[in-house]
Structure formats: C-alpha cells, structure tokens
Amino acid sequence: MAVPGEELPKSLTKAIRGLSGHHRLIVVEAAADGISAYQVGRNAADVPVARVWRTTWEEMSADGAPEKERVLRAARLDPAATTLLVCTFPDGADPAQAIAWLQAAAPDAQTHTAPGAAIGGLLRTVIADEPLTQLYELATLAAGPDGTLRFRGRVLFPVGSRRRDTVPLDLRFHRSDGPGAALAVISWADRRFRLVSLQRAHVPPGRYEVTAELERPGRVRFHGLPDAPVRDDRTWDELVAAVPDRLPPEPPDVHLVCAIETSGPADDVAARLDRATQFVRNAAAGPGPEPAVTLVAYGPHAFVRRPPPPLRVVADRRPAADALRALDDLRDREPDDPGYPRAAAVECVLAELERLIPARDPAHVALLLFGDRPPHPAEVAPSEILPCPAAADWRTTLAVLRRRPGFACGAVTDRPARRADPFWAGFAGDALAGQDAVDVPALAARLGLGAAEPRYVPFPFDETT
Amino acid sequence: MAAERQPPSPDHNIAMWGATGSGKTTFLAALDIALSRADHIDWKVIGANEASTDVLIKLSSKLANDNEFPDATFGVEQYQWRLVGQSEHREGRLWNRRTVRRGHSVGLDVHDAEGELFSNDFIGDHEPMLQSLARSRGIVYLFDPIREFEVGDAYKSLDGMLARLAQRMLNAEDAPDDGRLPHYVAVCTTKFDEVRVLQTAQNLGLLDFDADEHGCPRVAGGEDARELFRELCSVSRSGTADLVLRKLTRYFREDRIGFFVTSAVGFHLDPRVNRFNPRDYQNVVPDARSQRGFRIRSGVRPINVMEPLLWLAERLSDGVRVDLETEAAR
C-alpha cells in the first residue's frame, strides 16, 4: 500500500517510534543488486537496533529470473511486524516484480519508492535522531559513611534527550586493573536498570573533567579522558565482582629520597646510579600515587683548607621523570674523587634531609642510600675515622627522622650486606641489600613504596558537587 | 773538585735510635720546624755537610710545605746535622759575676736503613750505627706505641744493638766503674696526636693543656711521660715492650734517662678558632695520592720534639740552661 505524500524518513521515524516490547519493524529494500531485509526492534534498554540480511538477485533466481518464493524468504516478512517496502531501483524489472510479490504477501505494508536512497544510512540517521525513551545514567561508586562502596547512578541524559546533547561530569578514577576503568551507561525502566553501553579506558588515578555526549540512543561518547574509551567485553557481573567492599585506605603521598655516593671508582658509582634509577622507576610504576623524588649526591669530606661541600641536592621533590633525567646527568659526569677512604658524609646527608623534609610532612618518606662508606662520626671515635667537620651526628639525626610518622630507610651497599660496614645494618635493618642481590620490588615494599593491598576500583566516582 | 770543608767538631754527639718505621726521619724533619716556631729558644739545626743540608731542606719542606711525610727510607741513609745554639751563663765571683753567652754545637747523627737495622735479624753492616752510638753521649730513643701495638718490635730493635754497644763500651779500658753506659737517653713516646695515645693519657689523668692560644694537650716530661710510656708498653702486640724499660734502666743510669711524649706533626686545630678541639683533633689523613698513604691535615705543630734534644744538650754541655719549662708552657 503506497502512502502518497508521506516521505520515507517520516514513515521510518513514525514506525520506529511506535516500536515497543517485542514488536518489530521490517523494512524491505528492493534495490538494483538484490533485496535487503532490515529488522528493527528495541533492545532491553529500549534502544532501537537494526539487523540486516542481504540477498542478491542471483541468489533469488532460477533459470535467469527471480523466484517468488525465494524473494519472500529473503524479505523475512513477519505477519506480527510492521512492514515497510521500499523500491530504490524502480526502473529495474526485478525490483518491481519483487515489490509486487511482497505487496501481495503483506497487503498492510507501506510501500515507498525512493530511487537511489541508501536505506541503511537512512535507518541509522532515523534511529540516531530518536529521543531517549529512558533515563541514562553513568554507573559510579560512592563511599558510604562507614566506608562501604555503593553504586550510584550519575544522571547523564533524561528521557527525551537527543543526539549531540552533552553533560559535564567531574569524575575521580582510582587505579584500575589491566583492562582499565569501566564507563557503564545504564538505563532505568520499571525500577530495573539495563546496561546500555560498556566502555573501558586506561585512566591514571585522579580527577578528570569529562564531557558525556549522546551520540545516539544506546551510545554515549566520553571526552576529556587521557585514553579514548573503547568497547569493553567484560560482563556486568565481572565488573561488580571486582568492586571492593570498601575503598582501601588512601595511600599517602610518597616522597622517595635517594642519596647516592657519587665518589669513587666509576664502575661502582655507575652501579649505584643504576640501582637508584631502578628504584625511582619502580616507585613511579607502583599502584600508589606518583612519588615525589629527591636526589642527593654525596661523597666524603675533604680535609683540606677550603673543602668543597660534601653533598649536592640535585633534585628536590621532583616528579619521577625529572629525577630520572637528573640521574642520567649524574651518570654522564665524571665520578668525584674518592677522597677520604674510610667514610663518606652520610651524616651530612641525614642532616640535610632533616632540614629539607618538614617535620609534619604528611608524605610517606622512604630514604634509600646507595653507597659503601659509613658516615663520619660526630667526634673522635675509637674507629679513628675522622669526625665530620660540621659535627653532624648521624645517630641523633637518624633518631629524629625515625620518630617521624611514615619515615622508612633502607640501603643498597656495594658489598654484600653481611660484609658491609656494621653501620649499614644498624641504619637499614632488614631493608639492606648488597648490589649483587637487590630485589628491587621486595626492598621497595619493605620501605612502603608498594601498596600491599592493590587498590583496584573499576568504576569512577562522581565528584560533582 | 774542591773538597767539602768540614765544620769544626761538635762539642758532643746525639744519636737517634728507634725501630724502623718509628718515625726517626719525621721526628728530625719536625725538629727544624719546632725550633723555628720557638720564640725564646735560640737554637737551630744545620747540616754538617752539603748532602745532609740537602736532606734537611728536603725533609722540612716536605713536611711543612707539602703537608706530607718524608719518604720511607730506602737502603742505608746517614745524616750528620748540628744542633747549634747559645746559652747564657753566670760567671765570676761575688762582685765580679756577669752573664756571658756561650755558643754550643751538638752533633746529631742519624743512621737509618730499610729493614731492621737495629734488629737482631739485621744482616747488614751494624758498624756505622754502632760507632755513632759509641761516639755519642746522648741518645734520642723513639718508641712508637702504635707500631708497638700493631707490630710489637720495640724490644727486638733495642736488644741486639744494646748488647753490641755494651760489649764495645763496657769492655773498654775507660769503661765506667758502675757498669752502665755513659749516655743520657731521652725516651720519646711518639705519635701523641694519635687517638689511642691521647686517650690513654687522658684516661690516666696525665693531660695538661698549653696556656697559649692553641690550648693543645701535653704530657709533662718526667714521671708523667714515664707513666704513659709504661702504660703503652703494656699493650704491646708481642708482650715484650715492658722489657724495653727494664733493659734501658739496666744499661743506663736511671738518672740519665728522661721521658718525653712527642708528636712530630701535632694536633689539628679548629680552623674557626685556631684552637685545639677535643671533638676533632686528628691531624693525619689517609691519602691515596701521597707516597706514604697519609698526609698532614692542617699544618705541622710539633709537640715536644725539640725538648728532648735540648734536654740532652743541657745535660751534655755543662752549664747550658734552656728554659724548657717556659718553652713548654708557651
């Protein structure tokens, strides 16, 4: 049945809008190359979705002409469905014959003649222009007063929203595991939610201003994330299972302090710098927040009339990337003169750190020494090691630092730990390793540089106030 | 080539005695510096011949200018130096008494050898050293307590040479009646600037402090120095150091033995106040670039280096009066 005066797009829009439940729309296109049967329905989220089957005239022909039965089969007519017949090649004998057979088979079907029309594209446009029939929300998490995590929907698009509608979001992401954070759009109907779309993105922990754009019903794009979201194949159940009961305690900011003895044989100095580099990299790659890194290069005191300073702070609370560059610079320099052979200015390093690190620094401070020589004593000692000219007392300073919450110290010595100067065992305790047997992750964990409990949370938190 | 002109013979001779490595050369190098630093002592050390003068210049320069210790002795070395000075004397009787200045020249013979010249095991020629000791009437005997603690060869280096000296001198026709050798002996415990030596003196309550602007510690000569010597002998590695004192008192008259606690380089002074700092006073620094593996940290301030020699000079030269107490207190 032809509908004079009604344009095809309007008919399609009207038909799609009238879909509900299991009702289907069948659009049969008789084109120059064959028949395309489009089946349009609404999925569980009430999003119109279309499927298409294509059959060529050759496939429907016998003895050089289309057969009626084959044409009807290709059209996938359904008495329960609304049917639209469209002839996009009216000049062709085969399309005209097919439309005639189909009209006979489905007398209630509307028939349109639209020469050259691209029905697939037209359907996509019509579907995309459909207003939402259900409320869209983003699945987010929120911590309750007792710390337990609960799902909370962040409204994205209300009923009636159309494509290109946008909404700003303020989302906080925690570290997520391998596949990344899930951006799950859900819809609500009859007090039940449905998963509309699921995307994933590798988003470093932090807070992001994100814009959600309704691309079409059933599809939301998210802009403003460092990684473009892609389709997520995880199931909803998998994602829900990955949500911890409660948010693990927020790991404190980490301040990694590497003090490196940069005087002595070139090979030894290079090995110390390499180890320090490994620790900085390890800390930066850990599950916690990115560490601030302080680097101190030190050597022995020079017992001469105008001694050079025994240490240099080459990076003060810098991002890991800056610290790694500073380590590279140190590596490019000639090692400092070995100087006084029996001690190095460890005591001055500690004194400098006591000065640099505020007493109430909320960060977890992990001090790692990379060296060989013990500190100079504060005064003449039985060891006969020359005292620190500045009278710095490493015992006193270390005790002060150790009293600070979150302070931990360790050391990597040139020699195997058991053969290192006794100072090192007293200084580092069980966080002591020789260059020959350093387990970087294990030692870092002892210093609190790796969170014992992974802090994976697959969904974002809505920070919108 | 003209023959080198020999200086007049000295009034007396002093010989240096001590185990190899006990610091004889350093001691003598410091002597020139010590005499130069002393304001109220008009004594100096000069070479008796060109070679000895060269050595004197070289040793003093190395110590004072380069802050380095003299090179270790290679082969056999002999230096002939003169300790030259003046002393004041009261002469005349009653109304005719007057003060006169008299010049003195004391020979200072140093024989040193690579290896154990004084040791019983030394297979080289003992004769020059023996002659020097027999000719001398004063001996500076250096006892290195650190070496004694680590090596313990003080007695071994004394015993053999002392026996040879006694054989030569006590069998002579003019041998003293008391069977003792006629020398004055200044027993010098060296390396007072070392931590272990200073702390031992401190533990024994023997420390005194100079009243000058540097305030360096010092152990008074005589009984205090003797007590420290005895204490340090007790920690000999070989356990034979206590025999040194017994041997000395057996071969020399006890009233001719004096004790001194010395340091060739002295203490490091706090550069901010130019004073001795009990917290930080070590003046010898390990230094891989120095030939001896050590260098002097902040200048040479000899302690009790000239005093033993002047004490000997006083004893040997009748009437020589050197106000050592005044000098020591300064």
Distance to chain A for B34, nearest Cα, Å: 22
pLDDT attached to residue B26: 87
For residue A298, the one-letter residue type is: Y
Contacts of A397 (CB under 8 A, 6+ apart): A347, A350, A351, A354
Query: DSSP readout, A86-155?
Result: EES-TT-HHHHHHHHHHHHH-TT-EEEE-TT--HHHHHHHHHHTPPPSSEEEEEEEEE-TTSBEEEEEEE
> A305: which chain B residues are within 8 Å (Cβ-Cβ)?
271, 298
For residue A393, the one-letter residue type is: D
A11: left (phi > 0), else alpha (psi -120 to 50), else beta? alpha
Distance to chain B for A436, nearest Cα, Å: 27
- Cβ contact (<8 Å) for B195 and A380? yes
> A384: which chain B residues are within 8 Å (Cβ-Cβ)?
194-196, 282
- Cβ contact (<8 Å) for A382 and B297? no
Which site among B207, B284, B285, B298 would you substitute to test the A interface, given the most A Cβ atoms closer than 10 Å to its Cβ?
Answer: B285
For the full predicted model, state whether its pTM sits above 0.80.
no
CB-CB contact of B157 with B20 (8 Å): yes
Nearest to B10 by CA among B139, B109, B104: B104
pLDDT attached to residue B128: 78
pLDDT attached to residue B40: 78
Q: Which of residues 19 through 78 in chain B touch A, CB cutoff 8 A?
A: none
pLDDT mean across residues, chain B? 83
Distance to chain A for B297, nearest Cα, Å: 6
Backbone phi, then psi, for A76, in 5-degree steps?
Answer: 55, 45
Taking CA atoms, A72 is separated from A63, A117, A299, in Å, by 18, 22, 90
Distance to chain B for A347, nearest Cα, Å: 15
pLDDT attached to residue B318: 62
CA-nearest residue to A306 within chain B is B271
Q: CA–CA separation, B219 vs B228, rounded Å?
A: 9
For residue A293, the one-letter residue type is: V
- Cβ contact (<8 Å) for A380 and B280? yes
Residues belonging to chain A:
465
Distance to chain A for B235, nearest Cα, Å: 16
Mean pLDDT across B237-264: 89
Distance to chain B for A285, nearest Cα, Å: 42
pLDDT attached to residue B324: 42
Distance to chain A for B279, nearest Cα, Å: 5
Q: CA–CA separation, A29 vs A99, rounded Å?
A: 9
CA-nearest residue to B196 within chain A is A382
CA-nearest residue to B268 within chain A is A303
Tens of pLDDT along B170-224?
887 777 778 889 999 999 999 999 999 999 999 999 999 988 889 999 999 889 9
Among B195, B271, B298, the residue with its CB nearest the CB of A384 is B195
Please report, to the nearest 10 degrees, the dihedral formed by the alpha carbons of residues A114, A117, A120, A123 taken in order: -60
Q: Which of residues 265 through 304 in chain B touch A, CB cutoff 8 A?
A: 271, 278-282, 285-286, 288, 297-298
Strands of the sheet with A110-113, listed across from one edge: A48-56, A34-42, A25-30, A82-87, A110-113
pLDDT at B282 over 70: yes
- Cβ contact (<8 Å) for A340 and B286? yes
Among A305, A379, A384, the residue with its CB nearest the CB of B280 is A379
> A338: which chain B residues are within 8 Å (Cβ-Cβ)?
288
CB-CB contact of B15 with B133 (8 Å): yes
- Cβ contact (<8 Å) for A386 and B282? yes
With vertex at residue A357, the alpha carbon angle to CA A353 and CA A362, rounded to the nearest 5 degrees, is 145
> A387: which chain B residues are within 8 Å (Cβ-Cβ)?
279-280, 282
Taking CA atoms, A437 is separated from A286, A416, B23, B92, in Å, by 21, 8, 45, 87
- Cβ contact (<8 Å) for A342 and B286? yes
Comparing B60 with B72, the larger pLDDT belongs to: B60
- Cβ contact (<8 Å) for B298 and A303? yes
Among B196, B288, B297, the residue with its CB nearest the CB of A303 is B297
The DSSP letter of residue B3 is: P
CA-nearest residue to A339 within chain B is B287
Q: Which residue has the tokens 């200045």?
A: B101
A64: left (phi > 0), else alpha (psi -120 to 50), else beta? left
Q: CA–CA separation, A259 vs A363, rounded Å?
A: 18
Q: Which residue has the tokens 């931590």?
A: B195
- Global ipTM: 0.81
Distance to chain B for A394, nearest Cα, Å: 15
Q: CA–CA separation, A117 vs B227, rounded Å?
A: 121
Distance to chain B for A388, nearest Cα, Å: 8
- The interaxial angle of helices B306-316 and B24-37, nearest 10 deg, is 80
- Cβ contact (<8 Å) for A380 and B281? yes
> B288: which chain A residues are within 8 Å (Cβ-Cβ)?
338, 341
For residue B319, name the pLDDT band (cuts at 50, 70, 90). Answer: very low
Which site among B267, B279, B281, B296 would you substitute to test the A interface, given the most A Cβ atoms closer than 10 Å to its Cβ?
Answer: B279
> A378: which chain B residues are within 8 Å (Cβ-Cβ)?
279
Q: Measured in whole angstroms, how far is the alpha carbon of residue A73 from the centre of its chain?
A: 48
Distance to chain A for B329, nearest Cα, Å: 25
CB-CB contact of A363 with A252 (8 Å): yes
Q: Which residue has the tokens 């004041």?
A: B88
- The interaxial angle of helices B24-37 and B50-64, nearest 10 deg, is 80
- Cβ contact (<8 Å) for B278 and A380? yes
- Local confidence pLDDT in tens for the 465 residues of chain A: 444 445 889 999 999 988 887 889 999 999 999 999 999 998 888 889 999 999 999 999 988 889 999 999 999 999 999 999 999 998 999 999 999 999 999 999 999 999 988 999 999 999 999 999 889 999 999 988 877 899 999 999 999 999 999 999 999 998 777 788 999 999 987 788 889 999 999 998 889 999 999 999 999 999 999 989 999 999 999 889 888 888 766 667 889 999 999 999 999 999 999 999 999 998 888 766 788 999 999 999 999 888 899 999 999 999 999 999 999 999 998 888 888 999 999 999 999 999 988 877 778 899 999 999 999 999 999 899 999 999 999 999 999 999 988 899 999 999 998 899 999 999 998 899 998 888 888 888 888 876 555 567 899 999 886
Comparing B138 with B8, the larger pLDDT belongs to: B138
Comparing B247 with B111, the larger pLDDT belongs to: B247
CA-nearest residue to B67 within chain A is A304
Distance to chain A for B271, nearest Cα, Å: 8
> A300: which chain B residues are within 8 Å (Cβ-Cβ)?
none
pLDDT attached to residue A368: 95
Both tokens assigned to A94: 């085969």
Q: Does B196 touch chain A (CB under 8 A)?
A: yes
Q: CA–CA separation, B271 vs B287, rounded Å?
A: 20
* Terminal-residue alpha carbon distance, chain A: 56
Residue B315, classed as helix, strand or coil, is helix
- Cβ contact (<8 Å) for A380 and B282? yes
- Cβ contact (<8 Å) for B279 and A391? yes
pLDDT attached to residue B8: 66
Among B279, B285, B297, the residue with its CB nearest the CB of A380 is B279
* Residue pairs spanning A and B at CB distance below 8 A: 37
> A389: which chain B residues are within 8 Å (Cβ-Cβ)?
280
Mean pLDDT across B12-25: 82
Contacts of A125 (CB under 8 A, 6+ apart): A9
The upper half-sphere exposure of residue B188, i.e. CA atoms within 13 Å in the direction of its Cβ, equals 31
Residue A28, classed as helix, strand or coil, is strand
